[in-house]
Structure 1
Amino acid sequence: MTTLLDRPNTALLIVDVQNAVVERAHERDAVVANIGGLVAKARRERIPVIWIQQSDEELVKGSEGWRIVPELEPDDTEPLVAKAYGDSFEDTELEGVLSDRGVGRLLVVGAQTDACIRSTLHGALVRGYDAILVSDAHTTEDLTKWGAPPPELVIAHTNLYWKYQTAPGRTAGTVETKNVDFAGEA
C-alpha cells in the first residue's frame, strides 16, 4: 500500500532503546521484552531489523548511556543508523538502508513515545512509507514536572491518534506485539 515504488518489504524499526533513554521509562522491562520478542520473530522470518541510535550533547557516542540496552543485541548483519534529531530519517542514512532492502512498510518500536517515536512515525508517513506503531512496544519517561501528562497517558494518546492516522495511498495504525504479522496488514 506504500506510495514508494518497488518497496514490497517490511522492516522492524527499533528507535533509541538505549540505556540512558529507557532507564526511567514507563514499564521499561515489559516494553524491552516485547521488543526482544519482535526482534526474535523478525529474525526467524528474515525480516530486516533496523536499529536507530541517538547521540547528542547529553547522550554521548560511546558512553554507557548511549549503548543499546543489554537485553537487546543488534546482530552484526543488522544496520545501525546513527541520528542526532528526533525524526530517524532526518540527516541520516535510514532512507538508503530501507531502499536497499526494498522496504516500504515499517513497524516502529522504541523510545521516547512523545519525541523520537512520534517524529519518526510522521517522518515515515510523509516520506511515503506505511508506518505501523506497535502499541505495547514503545515507552517514555515521566515528564510531568515539565507539564507533560503522565507517561501512561502519553502512550495511550499516541496509540489512539496513530490508530486513526491516514494519508493518501499509505497505511498507518497500531498493532499489539502479540498480533504482529510481518507479512500481513497488522
Structure 2
Amino acid sequence: MTTLENRDRTALLVIDVQTGVLDGAHDRDGVVGRISSLVERARGDGTDVVWVQHSSDEFPLGSAPWQIVPELTVHEADPVVHKRYGDAFEATDLEDVLAARGVGRLVVAGAQTDACVRSTLHGAFTRGYDVTLVSDAHTTEDLTAWGAPSPGDVIAHTNLYWGFQEAPGRTAGTASAAEVDLGQAAI
C-alpha cells in the first residue's frame, strides 16, 4: 500500500552491520546470524538487498571498524549506501537506489536500534514507504551508563511502538526473521 507510485517491489535494508558498530552489541552473534539468513532468503526470492554503511570520525571510511562484519557478505550486485547521518535517506543516494529498483516496501534489520535503525524507519515511513522492522534482527549497545534503558528494553520498546505505527496509505509493523515476508507483495 505504499504511497509511492509504481513501486511494488520489496528490499531488505541492512543498516550499519559494521565491525565497530556491532562491537559489544546486545545479542550480536544471534542478530548477525538472523541477518545472514534474511540476506540468503532475500537473494533466493529475488528480493534486493541494500546495505547501509555509516562513516564518521569514529568510523572513518575504509577503516577496520567501518567494515561490514566478516560473517556477512556483500555481493557485487548489492547496492551499498554510504551515510554520515542517522537517517539513511539524509544526504545519500538511497532514494535513487530504491526508486531505480521500483522499491516501495522496506524490510529493515541492523544497528543501532535507538539511533540509525529508528531514524531510518521514520525517514522511510514519512517518505511514503511501507516499512517492516525485523523484530529479532536489530540491536544496540549498552548505554545504561548514560541513562538509557538496557539494550533489551530498547529493542523491545522499539518493536512495541513500531508494531502500532500508522499513517494514511502506508503500512508498518514488525515480524521475526523466521516469519517476515520478503516477497514482492505489499504487507
TM-score range, shorter chain: over 0.9
TM-score (structure 2 length as normaliser): 0.98
Equivalences for 1:49-128 in 2 at 5 Å? 49-128=49-128
| RMSD, matched Cα | 0.8
> What secondary structure, in the 3-state scheme, does the structure 2 residue paired with 1:66 have?
coil
> What secondary structure, in the 3-state scheme, does the structure 2 residue paired with 1:73 have?
coil
> What secondary structure, in the 3-state scheme, does the structure 2 residue paired with 1:177 have?
coil
Residue of structure 2 in register with 1:164 after alignment: 164
Distance 1:182 1:13 in 2: 11
Cα shift at 1:185: 5.3
Residue of structure 2 in register with 1:28 after alignment: 28
Cα shift at 1:181: 1.5
Q: Which moved more, 1:174-183 or 1:31-40?
A: 174-183
Residue of structure 1 in register with 2:133 after alignment: 133
Cα shift at 1:112: 0.1
> What secondary structure, in the 3-state scheme, does the structure 1 residue paired with 2:157 have?
helix
Distance 1:56 1:133 in 2: 25
Distance 1:104 1:127 in 2: 10
Distance 2:182 2:173 in 1: 14
Distance 1:167 1:121 in 2: 13
Distance 1:114 1:21 in 2: 12
Give per-residue Cα distances to partners, 1:20-63, cap 9 Å, x unaligned.
00011000000000000000000011100000000011111111
Distance 1:114 1:101 in 2: 28
Distance 2:39 2:15 in 1: 13
> What secondary structure, in the 3-state scheme, does the structure 2 residue paired with 1:34 have?
helix
Distance 1:175 1:52 in 2: 21
> What secondary structure, in the 3-state scheme, does the structure 1 residue paired with 2:78 have?
coil
Distance 1:166 1:77 in 2: 33
Between the two proteins, the alignment pairs up a number of residues equal to 186
Distance 2:42 2:108 in 1: 13
Give per-residue Cα distances to partners, 1:129-148, cap 9 Å, x unaligned.
00110000000000001110
Amino acid at match of 2:129: Y
Q: Percentage identity across aligned positions?
A: 60
- Structure 1 stretches of 4+ with a deviation exceeding 6 A read none
Cα shift at 1:174: 0.2
Distance 2:180 2:148 in 1: 30
Amino acid at match of 1:126: T
